[in-house]
Structure 1
Amino acid sequence: MAGDAVVTVRLVRSFQHRNFKPVVFHQVDLDQTVQDFIQLVRDDITTRAGLPPPFKKHSYGTYTNELVMSLDDDEKLILQNGQTLRAAGVTNETEVAFFKKEDYGLYKANPKSAW
């Protein structure tokens, strides 16, 4: 049913430092488009209590169903604008990563972690 899904969004601030924060969204409509959900998340995180300012101000924009961040199969894993969440494979209790595409590209070119 529309609006009944729970989706956890991992806000990825840094791939290299493995800096991320999970945020849970309730009553998600899986029939909304990926870009509508991106906008919903962007609007929500700017005012969400308890979320540190660096996570609120980061310029996210890309989703993937792959949480471990496989560096292969981008075409399959990165959610495409124009798709509904359901068509992209998002279901109830799915976890997705939300990140800046440029950061991902830099990490993919040199996938080394810094501790």
Structure 2
Amino acid sequence: MDNLTNHARPSTDAIITVRCIKSFEYRTCKNAVLKHIDLENTTVGELKAHILETIRTTSGWKPYLSVEFDTLKLYTVAHGHKTQNLIINMEDDKSLILSDDSATLAWLGIENEAELSFFNREAYEAFKKNPDMKW
């Protein structure tokens, strides 16, 4: 009976949505939905490599090939609050940026159906200093 009440997806088969951000000012981003991610054993570095491989090998990503993606940041977890900014959570960089490439996703608190932002850190820091949106 216990198995019937536990509807959570096991941590060895998570779905994660990653917003790959090309431009903060123009809010240009494309989502990569990654399925069957093992949160217990996948490191931040391995996830970055997986996303970069997806960008290189999947059609529709050509405009993103020139971006030097180097940073992952938690946007929200399932059923969590979302920020006002549509592509990145600009709050609490210290705890939300996944800076340790050797840490596993589960250890960092990443859950099934989490949403992450993937971006160039230098472009993000420049945008934070002058967060003007352009059209």
Q: Normalised by the size of structure 2, how large is the TM-score?
A: 0.77
Contact 1:59 1:100 in 2 (8 A): yes
Q: Which stretches in structure 1 are left out of the alignment for 5+ residues?
A: none
Of residues 100-109 and 57-66 in structure 1, the stretch that sits farther from structure 2 once superposed is: 57-66
* Distance of 1:87 and 1:3 partners within structure 2: 13
Work out which of the residue numbers 90, 93, 96 in structure 2 matches 1:77.
96
Q: In angstroms, what is the RMSD of aligned CA positions?
A: 1.5
Q: How far 1:2 sits from its partner (Å)?
A: 4.9
When structure 1 is superposed on structure 2, of 69-78 and 91-100 the one drifting more is: 69-78
Query: Which stretches of structure 1, 4 residues or more, deviate above 4 A after TM superposition?
Result: none
What is the alpha-carbon distance in structure 2 between the residues aligned to residue 52 and residue 39 of structure 1? 15
Identical counterparts, % of pairs: 32
Q: Distance in 1 between matches of 2:65 and 2:109?
A: 26
Partner residue in 2 for 1:36: 46
1:93 correspondence with 2:113: yes
Say whether the 8 Å CA contact 2:11–2:112 is kept in structure 1.
Answer: no
The answer as to 2:63 corresponding to 1:54 is yes
TM-score (norm 1): 0.90
AA partner of residue 75 (structure 1): K
**60-69 vs 23-32, greater mean Cα deviation:** 60-69
CA distance in 1, matches of 2:28, 2:53: 21
Please report how far the alpha carbon of residue 15 of structure 1 lies from its aligned counterpart in structure 2 after TM superposition. 0.5
By how many angstroms is 1:52 displaced? Answer: 3.3
Q: SS where residue 111 of structure 2 aligns?
A: coil
Structure 1 residue matching 2:75: 3-state secondary structure: coil
CA contact 1:9–1:97 (8 Å) conserved in 2? yes
Q: Structure 2 unaligned runs (5+)?
A: 1-9, 77-84
* Of 33-42 and 55-64, the range deviating more from structure 2: 55-64
2:24 pairs with 1:15: yes
Q: CA deviation at 1:47?
A: 0.6
Shift of residue 87, structure 1, vs aligned partner: 1.6
CA distance in 1, matches of 2:75, 2:49: 20
